[in-house]
Chain A
Amino acid sequence: ETGVTQSPTHLIKTRGQQVTLRCSSQSGHNTVSWYQQALGQGPQFIFQYYREEENGRGNFPPRFSGLQFPNYSSELNVNALELDDSALYLCASSPDTGELFFGEGSRLTVL
């Protein structure tokens, strides 16, 4: 039990739609990161937020955006969904000590 919960656990969208994935982390975890894990691959870093500001971004287009809220929850938004966006999306939070605690993920299928 990592204390990181993600919702929804599974969802299906069609190409061109928009999706919002949510993450709730432990109190005191000021950093939240999002990763995309395509089938059969390792997770790929999307971006990281620290105290509600983006402070690092991977090689993902601007249609991937995020928000972090003062209550230690966060969102990942993806606009104009493409088939290749089908993946498991993982949220990870960390206290200032740096250890990452991962949630179980949200599995997105784009048809």
Chain B
Amino acid sequence: GAVVSQHPSWVICKSGTSVKIECRSLDFQATTMFWYRQFPKQSLMLMATSNEGSKATYEQGVEKDKFLINHASLTLSTLTVTSAHPEDSSFYICSAASEQGGSEAFFGQGTRLTVV
């Protein structure tokens, strides 16, 4: 299957700082990228969907100003957690899909964010 690279795999930051997570599709053009948040032993909660060159579509209850998503190219999307607080600590996963490649989405390795 296609490869999606997510970086960093883990990050620790101080409360009040911002953290950027990158999601890259390495061997295909991702027309759509999804950002999920996963709490321990729980499911993936869809946070937002981004399409290249367009503003991200956020799910209800997700703060747009807190979780900034940029999808500047067909191979790169970024999630920036602004003014991070301990309650933002979580596992964040991105996935990428190409309509030319079929219906499935390919996942990054995930990022463990810890805010101290």
A, B from the same assembly:
no
